[in-house]
Amino acid sequence: MVPVFAIQFWNSPEGAVPMSDNPGSPAKSKGLTRREVIKAAVAVGGVSASAYLFRGYIFGNQVRRAFGSAPGSMGRLITLNVNGRRRHVDVMPQETLAMTLRYKLGLTGTKLGCDRAECGSCTVLLDDVPHYSCSVLTQTVRNRKILTIEGLAGPDGTLHPVQQGIVEQQGFQCAFCMSGFIMAAIGFLKVNPNPTREELARGVSGNLCRCTDYHKILDALMRGAELSRGASHA
Amino acid sequence: MAIVRESSAIIRDVMPAFELFQPTSIEEALSVLAQYGTDAWVLAGGIDSFDWLKDRIKRPKAVVDLGRIRELRGVRELAGGGVEIRAMTTLTDVVLHPAIRKSFKLLADAAESAASPQIRNQGTIGGNVSQDTRCWYYRSGFPCYRAGGNICYADTPYGMNREHAILGAARCVAVSPSDSAPAMVALEAKMLVRNSNGERAVNAEDYFIGPGFDITRMTVLKQGDILTAIRIPSAWANASFYFEKISDRPVWDFPIVNIAAAKVISGGKIRRIRLVVNGVAAHPWRLRQVEEAVTGQPADEQTGARAGELAIADAVPLQHNGFKLPLMRNLVKRAICATPA
Amino acid sequence: MPDSKQEGTAAQVPLVTADTPADKSKLVGQNYVTPDLFAKVTGQAKYAEDFRAEGMLFAKLLLSPYPHARILEIDASQALAMPGVRAVLTMKDLPPPADYMTDLGVLIKANPLGERGLAMEPLYQGEPIAAVAAVDELTAADAVEKIRVTYEPLPFVIDPLASLRPGGPNARVEGNVWGVLGPEAPVGAKRTTPVPEVREIKWTEEDFRGYDEGKMPTGTPTGEWSYGDVEGGFKNAALVLDESFQTPNTSHECLETRTSMAYWQGGKLHLFGSTQSTSQTVPAIARWMNMKPEDVVLVSEYTGGGYGSKVTSSVHLIIPAMLSKKCHAPVMMRITREDENYIGRARPSLTGRMKAGFGPDGRLLALDMFVVADNGPYDEVHDTYISGQIVSLLYQPVAMRWRGISVLTNTPPRSPQSSPGGLQGITLMEPVLAKAARRLKIDLLAIHRINAPEGKAPLGPAVDGKRAHATGCFMKEALDQGARRFQWEERRKANSGKRNGSKIRGVGVSSSSFKSGSKGFDGLFVIQPDGKMYVQSGIGNLGTEDFSDVHRVAAEMVGMPWEKVVVTWGDTSKHLPWTCISGGSQTAHAMTRAAYAAAMDAIGKLQQIAAKDHGGRPENYEVRNERVYRQGGGPVMTLAHAAQRAIALGGVYDGHELPKDINPMTVRSAKALAGRGLMGVARDNYRQDGTVFSFVASFAEVEIDVETGTYKIVDFLAVADAGRVIHPAAIGGQILGRSMLGIGHAIGQKWVFDQHLGLPVARRFYQTKPPTILDAPARMDWAALNIPDPEGPVGAKGIGEPPVPGGCCAILNAISDALGDDIFRRAPVTLDMILTSLENGHPVISGLAADI
Amino acid sequence: MHIIQWAANPWGQMVPIHIAWALIWVFAIAGLTFLIVHAIWVRYFARRQEFAGPALSPGAAAALPAKIERHSLAARLFHWVMAAAMLVLLFTAFLPKVGVRFSWVTYHWVAGLILLASIVFHIVHASFFQNFGSIWPDKSDLADARNRTLRALGRSAPPPRRFGKYPFENKLYHLIIVIAGLAVAVTGAFMLFRVETPFLARNPYILSDMTWGFVYVLHGLAGVGLIALVTVHIYFALRPEKLPITKSMIFGSISRDHFLEQHDPQRWVVSSGNAGAGPSRAD
């Protein structure tokens, strides 16, 4: 039941190093003084909290249990497909996708608002379908296509039409809920590219905004839908 | 005089460590369940489970994720017009399935009224019908009857019980929060339950149980049981359906009362009918007397009004939920005289 | 059809709406892409929990299971023995509360009974008692469970009226009310505030007569003021109403919890927090930490909502700071949603008794208002007092008496929430106004117009013979504009009470107002030789966009295109000026004034430099279009060139000499920036006659299903008097967004407590019911009167608060328009109340307790 | 194995909530074991009972009625009502706990009320209309018990006297059942506040959680205790040598021969027919 690669990589340093999207990760800042590391880390913001990762190594009991011989028991070293990249990461059995994204892959655009599948700030797409990543076990999304807010803009920085719509309409206020709304909207538009305002509202109704700027949010998302249609035709 | 108490610290965050199993067949799943017994937890969509785990109230040693078992997914049309929905089919897939939309719109409407889009994308039909009650005392991890204790915090002189039961209460006054469950009972669904001794089919009506029968469970599922599929017979295919859910919020909320009705009407008269209300008792509440009383009657306001009164005849309100009586009465009336859309 | 007078006023009023065409030649009043937006849409924006530091530890809180108890012992030995656990923090580890000198030179004495962040006598269930730092959250959480605490349970009370009953329990061992009231004895007058103390007040059984019939009891208040002949007013009244009403406790429920991360470096504390204010949070933290403000660095570039709950949010910020000090490592304290429910602040419910006398024309002749606030366990909230002030301004009662008492309860701590006291006061008053209109057969809009404030309208009590007054009120104009856009009269005729099957329609309107500006803060920017304008912004970025918007005023004044303006915000190590707190709708007014002052300072310096180099007197030169021009002539120098000259000249020009009246924080920042270019730095000293208030007229149409008690808001409009409009998109978002917050108070947001256990049972969003996107009205629209405030150089006013009560009460009034009087006596109006009232033919009287 | 089930109440205090249900089996097995051991003992090891001297001159014996009343009609009614209630209570209480699911609460509290009423009746009846003392063990019972034990063990000891109205074993059993019965009945009465009844408003807050905990534990312990007691009681009722007594609980009387064989007319004076008069100690 344990995936072969997990066993192979079990002792490899690669497995022990948090993979991160940015140059500031401790893996790459070897040799810096502690102060420099803190500066670098804080400056770029996205460094993985390696401690969060290392629990299993510090207290091996859990690691050993994670390799129980019973049918279906999972290994901890897995590969995820995030924003089109293969990401090799060490994941505890009870770890949620939101935690893996935020604390191990440095993808902090996915927010935790309630951690109870209620507010939608943590919404990501799994195979194009919106899910609350706070309520998905990372171990269960191996070999699924994970898309987060960071994966939307093109390499040249061109925004996704839905992002563009928000920029044009000055949508959202504090924007803590924004990435969740954007992902929910994109997922909805994939199955319903030409929605009425009311339909789109239903499509993103699994997301809360406490600035309660719902009206302007819908203006922006409707504009985003319009731009998306244009983009898909082009 | 001071009573001094040492309290055990309570923290309602961070899932405790457990061992995760992702079997690819039901047999495998059953063997893990057998191996761990009461220390095992079956994970379907997880929407209900993660509350228990993150609140650290339930602490299984092993979590068995059914997500990788192919035979537990998908909808299959049965010869003769019924459908079989495998338990791990998501609510979204149920809502969108053409056969269900065509013949059993009642179920599609019920499933669509549940929770939020993201939850319907992840939550399964099996999980939705089998979910635990949302009584806020029980969910707080208090040692109430349902949690194996000896008290009901909701039905006390101070209990906050606006959302609680008006029917079938027995010490525990919690209600079933499911939107799809009443539809299942109305459609005479059969629930297929598998355990090490094999598979048995249980009528939806008997699948859901009340506190009088077993105060700690909402369904007949016991340790080691897995709900594998739900079979909806052709009995009510294309009947005229009525589903309505009343809740405080139009999305991500549980029903205060919901109603699922299947009717066969000809010549303006009700020939056959199944009426099920949820959110009023610990299990979907089938209105047998009402069904008998209105069969053969015209599907009109009068019949509806009489049916409504009859429906709440045995209801016993708690301190804060008296409004559920007129609400249930009015919904029954609507369900009877509503003309198929 | 609307009368000609309305038409008349309407014609003269400049209006900004969502569809107002853009004017490229201007910055002020135009939409633009704010400098934070790209980072937000791409997920790059860093909120407090998005920062990481190598070796970062994680903190978890141990919360009190009791609503009130004394802690006899905390035994953390087992927790500390766990591998990976680094430290356990309790109250004993926290610095003692310190006195605090405001920038106005007022000494705020420390409150010995105030909140400490960690408690040894927890006063509400969920109050933090200890914090554990460990290598990861799982270890920290497991460690929390290993801490043994020995409690002595103490009496507790959830319902303020229960505490006022004879022999009722007190929330604190010392008593149930604060002995010293804040704003009634304005601190501005004194140089030192008295040390707050707690005393006990009980009412008599006699006072409680009528409680069971839903009449709010009235007894000894802690605050009272009045003006005019109230009794006489009642005598002459054509109609006297005596109504009791209950507003809800509502948590702010910011989507971003008050998570924070801290580490120490070179003796300085670096805090990454979620706070509304930037500059003002530094002295607050310094006070809690007993440190010098210079040694505190706060980073808060993006804040996920505040609404008054994070004005500085400093109380709990110090926990990771102290843990980090103990562990010599960075500490991240991730506040969970449940933690936030407890420590995240809430709006206090007000129970109100409103006795109102109306003339035959609907004029409010006399008002006797008594409010009881559910204060929570800590520092006194002033919602009681403000509710009276706002009502006295908004409805201009000829004579009025206000009495109030804020009772301590063992419930989570309160704080201001968008329109603190304003929401409650107006929500207590509007149903009375609507009922009066029905009794007197007056149109609901008319009764609002006839009582609306105008010009420099007076408010509150007379302090040594003089009543305070507003700088200017355009409530009537807002009502008239709204009536036109909403087609008020046509709608009332067509839809009011119209029945369709089980559905009934109702149309409502509400007035609203709130204080919307302060003054006396500093502006600071530097025009550098690269030709760019570098603006230092001490304003918090909590979504209002003020942190950037207000500086458009300065940029426009010095003729700087926005592309060449660089705004620095959210990091106090980056030399920010002294700034008002980002709360209470002060910023738009206060900081446009400060920006204006800094711009005037820069313009003056530019003119002087031009005069030095090109002869003539400074006033012969003017600044526009990135250049300095000779009046009536051509440009003499670019701003880039002027910046170089300023550096060469030094002194006042490049910030080596600074104004004497600016705040020490601004001085520090300006010194750090000196020599980089031409500095605009000044304190806002512009005079202002009166207090600034904004106004909103809100209109709503609802459709109620009388068989289910559910209702939909089919249309909503809010028209605001918010002074000069700086950024239409932002102001539109504020108007409708804050209206929606108020609508939440009308349709469902609430607390639920078990009074016997003293615990909240509603802990989740699906239980406390914040409004969803599907609760939003099917149609929504906004407009803003673009009338500059008569006082001050810019005339901008804040708009964060006044839409809230308007949103709430437009709905309440629409419901009663559909169903008639006495359907509800509390907010929110939920389907159970509607059904029961219709069923019984009389309103639900379930006691005057908020949390049910 | 732990005896009490604890749980954290809403304030985090550990309070007992009920006994460990495993005790059901412990006491059921204890009861069975007792009767098996006793049956074997009687069958293979026990000697015939011998009593001191002739009880009564044949003449006096002949004067006795052929049937001697042992239980009044009221007493018999009470016994059987109580027995029925007790059985219902035991089954409704413990069957669901061992997996036989049914809606039991209503039967349980109704039977409980009946038991309560019959107990009250019995106390009044026994105290004022019966020889209250006759059921409580007295000195001579203890002395005789000692002698009988010694003789049973084959040691020399004077033969015991015949019994009064109730044999010592009856008295002992009654004593224990009084303790268990009162405990279960009194605690049960309080527990009526926790279930839906037509005549009481539910209020779990009349006692503190801790007090409630002990109420439930006491109820449970007495309850499982009664499993064993009732088993033993039924066993004796069915034993051949005790059948006359069992019959007397149905028909009310025992035969003169049985009376003469087992009972001491001086300790159980029947001639005058007034059961009220205390025995005369004349030796």
Return the CATH superfamily for domain A4-17+28-46+153-233: [2Fe-2S]-binding domain (1.10.150.120)
What is the nearest CA distance from D8 to chain C, expressed in angstroms?
11
Residue listed under structure tokens 């064989």: D261
| Chain D residues within 8 A of C759 when measuring between CB atoms | 10
Q: Which residue has the higher pLDDT, B34 or A51?
A: B34
Q: Residue C433: pLDDT band by 50, 70, 90 thresholds? A: very high
How far apart are the C-alpha atoms of C92 and D25, rounded to whole Å? Answer: 52
Neighboring chain B residues of A129 at a CB cutoff of 8 Å:
92, 121
Instruction: Count CB neighbours of C606 within 10 A.
Output: 28
**How does residue A231 score in pLDDT terms, banded at 50, 70 and 90?**
confident
Subunit contact A108:C337, Cβ cutoff 8 A: no
pLDDT tops 80 at residue B205 = yes
Tell me which residue of C780, C803, C542, C725 sits closest to A216, measured CA to CA: C780
Cβ-in-10-Å burial (0-12, 13-18, 19+) of C825 comes to buried
Picking from C339, C754, C769 by the largest number of B CB atoms within 10 A of its own CB, the best residue to mutate is C754
- Kindly report, residue by residue over C653-670, the tens digit of the pLDDT: 999 999 999 999 999 999
D11/C153 touch (CB, cutoff 8 Å), yes or no = yes
**pLDDT score for D1:** 58
Distance CA B290, CA B304 (A): 10
HEC profile of C564-609? HEEEEECEHHHCCCCCCCCCCCCHHHHHHHHHHHHHHHHHHHHHHH
DSSP C622-683: EEETTEEEETTS-EEEEHHHHHHHHHHH-TTTTTSS--TTS-HHHHHHHHHHTTSSEEEEEE
> A42 and C52: CB-CB below 8 Å?
yes
pLDDT band of residue C438 (cuts 50, 70, 90) is very high
Cα separations in angstroms, A191 against A84, A130, A221, B8, C453: 21, 11, 15, 50, 52
Tell whether D204 lies on the interface with B, counting CB pairs under 8 A. yes
Are B16 and C142 within 8 A, CB to CB? Answer: yes
pLDDT in tens, C267-297: 999 999 999 999 999 999 999 999 999 999 9
Residues from chain A that touch B21, judged by Cβ atoms under 8 A, are 1, 70-74
If contacts are CB pairs under 8 Å, which of residues 152-191 in chain A contact chain C? 152-153, 159, 163, 166-167, 169-170, 172-179, 182
Nearest-Cα distance to chain B for A175, in Å, is 20
A120 and B122: CB-CB below 8 Å?
A: no
Closest CB to C145: pick one of B11, B246, B252.
Answer: B11
Q: Do A202 and B53 touch (CB under 8 A)?
A: no
Chain B closest-CA separation from residue C375 CA (Å): 22
Residue C35: strand, helix, or coil: coil
Whether the pLDDT of residue A3 is over 50: the answer is no
Q: Are the Cβ atoms of C54 and A58 closer than 8 angstroms?
A: no
Chain B from 190 to 249: CB within 8 A of any D CB: 210, 212-214
- Return the amino acid letter for D88: V
CA distance B16 to chain C (A): 7
Report chain B residues whose CB lies below 8 A from the CB of D223: none
- C743 pLDDT more than 70: yes
Query: Helix or strand or coil: residue C232?
Result: helix
The residue among B39, B41, B52, B116 with the most chain A CBs within 10 A of its CB, best to mutate, is: B116
Entry pTM: 0.93
Report how far residue C823's alpha carbon sits from residue C842's, in angstroms, rounded to the nearest whole number: 7
Residues B170-209: b if buried by 16+ CB within 10 A, e if exposed: bbbbbbbbbbbbbbbbbbbbbbbbbbeeeeeebebbebbb
On whether the CB atoms of residues C838 and C711 are closer than 8 A, the answer is no
Distances (CA, A) of D133 to D124, D126, D222: 14, 9, 25
Instruction: Return the axis-axis angle of helices C803-819 and C831-840, rounded to nearest 10°.
Output: 30
Q: Would the CB atoms of D10 and C756 count as touching at under 8 Å?
A: no
In this complex, do B23 and A62 lie within 8 Å of one another by their Cβ atoms? no
Q: What percent of chain D has pLDDT over 90?
A: 52
Residue contact B327–C830, C-beta within 8 A: no
**pLDDT, tens digit, 9 for 90 and up, residues D11-50:** 999 999 999 999 999 999 999 999 999 999 888 887 777 7
Are C265 and A38 in contact (CB < 8 Å)?
A: yes
pLDDT tens-digit map of C521-549: 999 999 999 999 999 999 999 999 999 99
| pLDDT given for residue D266 in this prediction | 75
Q: Which of residues 138-157 of A touch C (CB under 8 A)?
A: 148-150, 152-153
ipTM of model: 0.94
Task: Give the torsion through C-alpha atoms of B208, B214, B215, B216, to 10 deg.
Answer: -80
Chains A and D touch (3+ CB pairs under 8 A): no
C389: tokens are 């002030």
Asked whether the beta carbons of residue C761 and residue B252 sit closer than 8 angstroms, the reply is no
Residue scoring higher pLDDT (B178 or D263):
B178
Report residue B248 as tokens: 């405080």
Calculate the average pLDDT of chain A. 78
Contact yes or no for A117 and B119 at CB 8 A: yes
How far is residue C649 CA from its own chain's centroid?
Answer: 44
SS3 content of chain C, % helix, strand, coil (to 5): 30, 25, 45
Out of B153, B156, B212, whose CB is closest to D105?
B212
How many residues in chain A? 234
- Closest-CA distance, A119 to chain C, in angstroms, reads 8
C778 is written with which tokens? 């099917």
Residue C781 has a pLDDT of 98
Chain C residues within 8 A of D204 when measuring between CB atoms: none
| Signed CA dihedral, D179, D183, D189, D192: sign only | negative
Check CB contact under 8 Å for C152 and B8: no
Q: What is the pLDDT confidence band of residue D275, given thresholds at 50, 70 and 90? A: very low
How would residue A2 be classed by pLDDT, with cut points 50, 70 and 90?
A: very low
Which site among C56, C773, C774, C781 would you substitute to test the A interface, given the most A Cβ atoms closer than 10 Å to its Cβ?
C773
CB C278, CB C579: distance < 8 Å? yes
Chain B residue whose CA is closest to A142: B68
Per-domain boundaries in chain A: 4-17+28-46+153-233, 50-68+75-151
Whether A4-17+28-46+153-233 shares its CATH topology with A50-68+75-151 is answered no
Q: Which residue of D has its CA nearest to C756?
A: D205
Nearest CA in chain C to A218: C773
Taking CB atoms and an 8 Å cutoff, what residues of chain A touch C303? Answer: 174
**DSSP per-residue letters across C64-118:** -SSSSEEEEEEE-HHHHTSTTEEEEEEGGGSPPP--EE-TTS-EE---TTS--SS
CA dist., res. C709 & res. B275, Å (int): 22
The chains in contact with chain B, meaning 3 or more Cβ pairs closer than 8 Å, are: A, C, D
Contact, A168 vs A205, CB < 8 A? no
Q: What pLDDT sits at residue A45? A: 37
Q: Given pLDDT bands bounded at 50, 70 and 90, which one contains residue B25?
A: very high
Residue C748: name the closest of C844, C835, C821, C832 by CA: C832
Of A34, A109, A201, the CB nearest to C773: A201
Q: Which two tokens stand for residue A148?
A: 């987060």
Residues of B in contact with D218 (CB under 8 A): none
Place of tokens 């022990």: A16
Written as six digits, the tokens of C349 are: 């419910």
**The token pair that represents C713 in the structure block:** 């808001």
CATH top-level class of A50-68+75-151: alpha beta
- Compare C204 and D279 and report the one with higher pLDDT: C204
A72: nearest CB among B28, B115, B116: B28
Helix (H, G, I), strand (E, B) or coil at C252: coil
The DSSP 8-state label assigned to residue A67 in this structure reads: T
Alpha carbon distance, N-terminus to C-terminus of chain B = 68
Asked if C765 and B252 come within 8 Å (Cβ–Cβ), the reply is yes
Q: B92: which 2 tokens? A: 């979204």
